[in-house]
A and B are shown apart, each in its own frame.
Chain A
């Protein structure tokens, strides 16, 4: 719009001008808004070296809205003076006039009018002089005419105090000819249009250059949650390795499947109120596989299957207590129990990734619920070496190649090993998972054959995700306090690719 006629005029004037011209002056001369000239300058600048423009700021006096009214209609005091007839006017009536209040006091101090307080109908105002000179109006008209410099500093500041004048800074351009100055510029096209393509006019038209430094416009899109993007990748890894997904859509579990079936004794601290969420309603499991329950009870309290047992009084009530599952190993126990009922035994590889719940103290890295990743392999003659071999393949797919194994204690695996990987950033070995062979006291009561071993490992989904996406506070990732900007900005999850530079987080 602005680079049309205004730009052309500007170029013609500039050709005739000596040295250069001022954008504000040109606007006044053409009778257009100053912004229109500025727009023309900018669009000409974008074409290259046709013109040179230097930004200058000048200060200028302008009338306020009230100042403009006075320049047009006269000052309040003059208006008051003129409204008083020869026979005077009641003060109360005068005060009701639009300029009444301000004008009255000013006219009084100018000694143009007087008040007779002894008049019969209350105070009455009379003219003192016959005519007045409206100096304020005259001065404002001078400013309006662009002749503010004719006023003294004192006069200007008095008018400013009365909020009739303001000083504004005007940014103008001093425009001069550029190295490739020409008045003969054809208008540059911004975009290619269908008409240009069909008419072929694009061949003769110049196109405005793009600013390749500017950012593009992000597409409107939905986004997947980073933690669940990582979950998708873990599922993918397990599927690539031939693992079948276990059903885990049961947050509520009986203590039996969560603990007893895993040979975790009933006095174990994990079964404490401090660690586990128990249910008030429904407080107890309604059905348990009683045959199996009896075998579990005997193994705990008396031993069997080659075990000494824990030798304590195992209670059914304790096993019936419903809880929010504390690990997905309860789902693995159910899957292995189902597997044990199928005769003959067929080898199986299982995995699951789902929520688990702990009644723990919360901090920057711990929440009451988190996702557990678990892998299980059941076959004849599996060894610790097999477990380590599978772990190596699994972690290689995560981009983790340096592994070390440390003996550990888990109530339901023996042997047990913690998995450590060397963390390049922290320059130390960090625990990345826990693993082991399920105890015979867990497997044999289920009915699995004696020479079948079951290897298993587990890790949390949150930890690798926080490391992957450089998140320090788990609440920014999981739960309703999530930072949606982080969700919008999060990159693809490619676990085996090199980690990118640490990400900066948006304001919390």
Chain B
């Protein structure tokens, strides 16, 4: 069932198993034996992140229940108000709020409520950077509420689960060692003002996105919950609020009714939340049939969509389907999303497979075609193919070859996790020498080649860098074997139909110098009137730096002039 619905049943386990896996058997004693189902939910289905939503979604899918209708209601008494001051503009400008009135928690419901917030924080809220959720016991507070930003030293309150008051500065220090909260500190750290929400008595509700106040802490016994979401992405804040209230209004006295809250923006305009907007889309049934590759009646398609929580009916000329997109389905932003849901409900594996009639003539990418041909003949010439990394350290392409990094035109990576990924290679040689170093136990001689891309900066390209297809070969033995590498060059030129000699279109090698080569044992390769690379006997310093012990000669050319 899960598979058809697009869910992945990851693992069936129990709390006991998890704890014993993570912490050893002793600690697992006394933990629950209840079977847990770990389910992977598609990353855009926020409505399936909690058990309430998942069960509701599957029940509707199996046509056991009708999708509930979520309603925003204005309270009989005074509406809760959240006033945003202009100081928040620079740090976290948006806030939305709502109230769950007369809710009845149990231990399981309460845990699920907390867990959903945590999952949303990790997921759509981008680790609280875009949106942070605060939930409060409304009965301990008195509105209207103010969302403002203040200097950290001016914020002082008793945070969640602490017994003492701290200033915001102190809290930031305390939470540096908190394994959970330390990941969120960077969002406001180093900002002159921190966001904070007060009630009319000056009680701190929360200091988003880090911590709530202890005063308004919710418990299993809380009856009225005030929910605020602050953030830098208004759309996402609204979605998050909608998800929470649609999921948990199930436990309110008036099921699926959510009490509205008013939010006043710094410009004086006021809005009512949650939005709980139902949107209507009209999609032609034949479009759905055409995109999926099925032939269903409009009525059947409407039925399929209804099972996917998208209440649909056939309207107009009988070919049009009107689909109501509930506030839980923020992932539906285009008709193609509706098409997918119809296909899922129909069952992907029930769709008839057909071959498109698209008639085309295939072409190879010329550079790859040449590469494939050359590879075959390099192996036929007795050389073995290596496959080395395109990323490497600066040292590999510069220091170890006796070059300064600035002379390489290499592109630099700004966020490498290790030195292995500092730059993109500008030459294939280091990779081959490292391959030899890792295979020193193999019988000599070692003859290796690689035909692959290197990268250099090039301001004539749109991104400021380009690849070149290089061919590199090395010969490693008790003697340098320059004549072998030279012979290989002659063979390559033969294969490329380039005659020897300086005449136009021919190739020659000319004495040259290179920091990687032994003095007097290096030549430049000129072909078709341009320099295409070098060959020679490697410098003993290079050999040593790559942890090798034998003489070695090498050849590296750009093959693009031969296209």
Using a CB–CB distance below 8 Å, which chain A residues touch chain B? Answer: 220-225, 227-228, 232, 235, 238-239, 241-254, 267, 269, 273, 277-288, 303, 305-312, 322, 324, 347-349, 355, 357, 359, 367-369, 377, 379, 381-386, 388-390, 392-393, 404-409, 414-417, 437, 439-441, 453, 477-485, 487-488
Contact = CB atoms under 8 A, between A and B. Distances in A.
Interface in B419-434: 420-421, 424, 431-432, 434
Most chain A beta-carbon contacts within 10 A, residue among B344, B411, B424: B411
B348 A281 contact: no
A280 B439 contact: no
A286 B459 contact: yes
A242 B439 CA distance: 40
A251 B424 contact: yes
B386 to A, nearest CB: 7
Contact of B344 (A246, A285, A389, A407): A407
Nearest to A282: B464
- The 7 closest A-B CB pairs, nearest first, are A385-B293, A407-B6, A383-B293, A282-B464, A415-B340, A480-B434, A409-B42
B378 interface: yes
A249 B470 CA distance: 12
A385 B363 contact: no
A277 B353 contact: no
Given A277-B416, A405-B348, A223 B354 contact: no
Nearest to A357: B391
Nearest to A507: B441
A219 B388 CA distance: 26
B333 interface: yes
B335 interface: yes
Nearest to A287: B462
B384 A222 contact: yes
Given A286-B462, A407-B6, A408-B42, A417 B348 contact: yes
B68 interface: no
B126 interface: yes
A273 B438 CA distance: 31
Nearest to A241: B362
A245 B292 contact: no
Contact of B463 (A250, A312, A487): A250
A222 B447 contact: yes
Contacts of A280: 412-414
Contacts of B44: 409
Nearest to B335: A306
Contact of A277 (B349, B352, B413): B413
Contacts of A235: 364, 368, 372
B555 interface: no
B351 A347 contact: no
A487 B291 contact: no
Contacts of A484: 384, 435, 439, 442, 446
B1 interface: no
Given A267-B130, A307-B333, A377-B356, A222 B453 contact: no
A482 B435 contact: yes
A349 B411 contact: no
Contacts of B457: 281-282
A245 B364 contact: yes
A409 B462 contact: no
Contact of B379 (A222, A254, A305): A222
Contact of A383 (B129, B290, B360, B387): B290
Contacts of B70: none
Contact of A480 (B333, B435, B455): B435
B360 A267 contact: no
A312 B235 contact: yes
Nearest to B424: A251
Contact of B464 (A223, A322, A381): A322
Nearest to A221: B382
B201 interface: no
A310 B124 CA distance: 12
Contacts of A223: 379, 384-385
Given A277-B413, A311-B235, A222 B435 contact: no
Contacts of A251: 390, 424, 453, 455, 467
Contact of B340 (A244, A248, A386, A416): A416
A243 B417 CA distance: 37
A390 B381 contact: no
B375 interface: yes
Contacts of A252: 411, 424, 455, 463-466
A453 B421 contact: no
A376 to B, nearest CB: 11
Contacts of B379: 221-224
Given A244-B363, A480-B389, A253 B463 contact: yes
A244 B294 contact: no
B391 A368 contact: yes
B405 to A, nearest CB: 11
B263 to A, nearest CB: 17
A285 B459 CA distance: 10
Contacts of B353: 385, 388-389, 392
B387 A347 contact: no
B437 A480 contact: yes
A225 B385 contact: yes
Given A379-B358, A484-B384, A239 B364 contact: yes
